[in-house]
Amino acid sequence: MGGPITLIAIYLTIWWTVLFAILPLGVTSRADAGLPNDGSDPGAPVDPKLKKKFFTTTWVSAIVFAILWLAIHFKLVDLSLLPWRR
């Protein structure tokens, strides 16, 4: 599948993609919570729980990366069929 730098780059790409998928989950906006408008955006999250989302992103990304690595390692996905690999 590649060297260690390639594997790190693939994992980081998966991590960022998963992060953007997880960020909006479980968020309550200031307007939904009924908080007064103090000059902030009404759509701003009340408590984004970023630490929890970073940990969730990390383990979900590890699972997705492991599935991808296993699929390529055991040749469930044949990369030689890609156009630039011929």
Amino acid at 28: T
Handedness of CA 33, 39, 40, 43 (dihedral sign): positive
- pTM for the full model? 0.82
List of residues 6+ apart from 8 with CB closer than 8 A: none
pLDDT at position 85: 60
pLDDT at position 30: 85
Report the b/e string of 33-61 with b at 16+ CB within 10 A: eeeeeeeeeeeebeeeeeeebeeebeebb
**What is the per-residue pLDDT across 17-71, written as a single tens digit (0 to 9) for each?**
999 999 999 999 988 888 887 888 888 899 999 999 999 999 999 999 999 999 9
Give dist(CA 21, CA 64) in Å, integer.
13
pLDDT at position 43: 87
pLDDT at position 81: 81
Tokens for 43, please give them. Answer: 């759509």
